[in-house]
Amino acid sequence: MAQDPNEKGVRDDPRELEDIPFDSSCIWVMDKAGIPCPPPVTERLVIMRRDLSKMDTYYLLPNGKRVRSGGDVEKFLQENPEYRVNLPASKFSFAMPKTVPATVVESSLRRVAKAEGKV
């Protein structure tokens, strides 16, 4: 049984979570506590960079465009005031999730180094 995340001593290693099978083909990330759910009619996208250095957070908006900062959200809301009530800027979080180091396997690091010509 997985430990309640509100309890002290939360485990960051997914291999310790009994109800979620560990799969070394994936790199796991964890959002910070308190990240709001994406507003209705939007989608939050978190994309890892090819070099595994960090992730970029975007939101896909109802008009199909991506925004990557609070300033982009404000610009969209100014240009589309009909969305201001349902898409308050406070519901967008561009905080970068934390990578779970135990899931970054050596083969992933070698593949990145090879792609960058460092091997």
CA 66 to chain centre: 15
Closest to 92 measured CA to CA, from 55, 54, 64, 57: 57
Domain assignment present for residue 75? The answer is: yes
Q: Is residue 9 part of a domain?
A: no
Predicted confidence (pLDDT) per residue in 48-76, tens digit: 887 777 789 999 999 999 999 999 999 99
Instruction: Supply the CATH number for residue 81's domain.
Output: 3.30.890.10
pLDDT band per the 50, 70, 90 thresholds, residue 86: confident
Tens digits of residue pLDDT in 27-53 = 777 888 888 888 888 999 998 887 777
pTM for the full model? 0.66
User: What total of structural domains would you count in the chain?
Assistant: 1
Residue linked to tokens 């994309």: 47
* 112 confidence band (pLDDT: 50, 70, 90): low
Distance CA 102, CA 5 (A): 18
Owning domain of residue 62: 41-94
Distance CA 84, CA 72 (A): 13
Q: Is 82 a domain residue?
A: yes
